[in-house]
Amino acid sequence: MSGAAVAERQRPKAVYVFSGKRKCGKDYITDAIHKRIGSEKCVIIRLSGPIKKHWAQTKSLQLDELLSDGEMKEQHRKSMIEWSENVRTNDNGYFCRMAIDMYDQNHSKDIWIVSDARRKTDIAWFKSNYNNLKLIRITADECTRKERGWNFIQGVDDATSECDLDDYLEWDWIVENNKFNDCNDFINEIVNHVLTV
Ligand SMILES: Nc1ncnc2c1ncn2[C@@H]1O[C@H](COP(=O)(O)OP(=O)(O)OP(=O)(O)O)[C@@H](O)[C@H]1O
């Protein structure tokens, strides 16, 4: 194996895994961090990416719309959860592997930001496959989330995909992203941490 191939296999240097409930601001914060670090070095891995890709293909939907923070995502969320749970039953790491293939197949980036871990099995899979993992929980109160468009939906907000990490305790950072909080201190902290890896 060539030196370059070995170096590639050693990437990423760090994996920042984010979790949090709907509309807590995962995309907002991970997008901001990604912008600061730059796409030459850093990539966002969305575990929901391959699920949405499959859904867009089978239902003839626009993938971009499904990936963005709009109505279409909400309309299809429950069905996508149900479909993906079935796949996951047989293979816990399936969507983790598919998401890596989708966003950084060649392991060409130093920094991975996994924007949407939802289960203990997601974290366990990354822990068992990659070193230098940092775990971040984003929180926001219900009032703030409602202002951002969240409403409780049975079968979504009480499902494993939304609740499995509620009792997880091993976070490296817990970040409050409420209406009047300033998330820039945290964003700066991550950007500085990246410089140390
Ligand atoms: N700190 C913030 N300041 C201003 N707007 C924010 C902040 N955090 C989140 N938002 C806004 O709130 C809305 C929901 O945030 P976002 O899409 O990041 O949530 P999410 O956790 O990724 O939600 P989902 O789980 O549904 O994908 C977006 O319109 C986003 O721009």
pLDDT digits (tens, 9 = 90+) for 56-86: 988 888 889 888 888 888 888 888 888 888 8
2-11, 18-27, 53-62: least confidently modelled range: 2-11
pLDDT at residue 31, rounded to an integer: 98
CA of 26 to the centre of ligand 1 (A): 6
Whose Cα sits closest to atom 26 in ligand 1? 22
The closest-lying atom of ligand 1 relative to the alpha carbon of residue 30 is 18
Q: Which two tokens stand for residue 87?
A: 């796949």
Does 23 count as an annotated binding residue?
yes
Does residue 9 register a pLDDT over 70? no
Q: Which SS3 state, helix, strand or coil, does residue 41 take?
A: coil
**For residue 171, what pLDDT band results from cuts at 50, 70 and 90?**
very high
Among the listed residues 184, 13, 11, 32, the one whose alpha carbon sits nearest the alpha carbon of residue 115: 32
In the structure, which protein residues have their CB atom closer than 6 angstroms to any atom of ligand 1? 20, 22-28, 69, 148, 177, 183
* Distance from the alpha carbon of residue 124 to the mean position of ligand 1, in angstroms: 26
**Annotated binding residue at 120?**
no
- Which residue lies with its CA nearest to atom 24 of ligand 1? 22
Instruction: Supply the ipTM of this predicted assembly.
Output: 0.98
pLDDT at 5 over 70: no
Tell whether residue 143 is among the known ligand binding residues. Answer: no
Q: What is the pLDDT of residue 4?
A: 53
Residue 82: predicted pLDDT? 86
Domain coordinates in residue numbering, the chain: 14-196
- Rounded Cα gap, residues 13 and 130, in angstroms: 9
Cα of 23 from ligand 1 centre, angstroms: 5
Nearest to 141 by CA among 128, 133, 150, 131: 150
Query: Of 112, 83, 119, nearest to 14 (Cα)?
Result: 112
What residues form DSSP beta bridges with 135?
Answer: 17
Other Cβ atoms within 10 Å of 87 Cβ, number: 15
Is residue 119 within 8 A of residue 164, CB to CB? The reply is: yes
Question: CB under 8 Å, gap of 24 or more: what pairs does 87-95 form?
Answer: 88/119, 88/121, 92/121, 92/124, 92/125, 93/121, 93/125, 93/129, 95/47, 95/48, 95/50, 95/51
Protein residue with least CA distance to atom 7, ligand 1: 25
Domain 14-196: CATH architecture, name and number where available: 3-Layer(aba) Sandwich (3.40)
pTM: 0.92
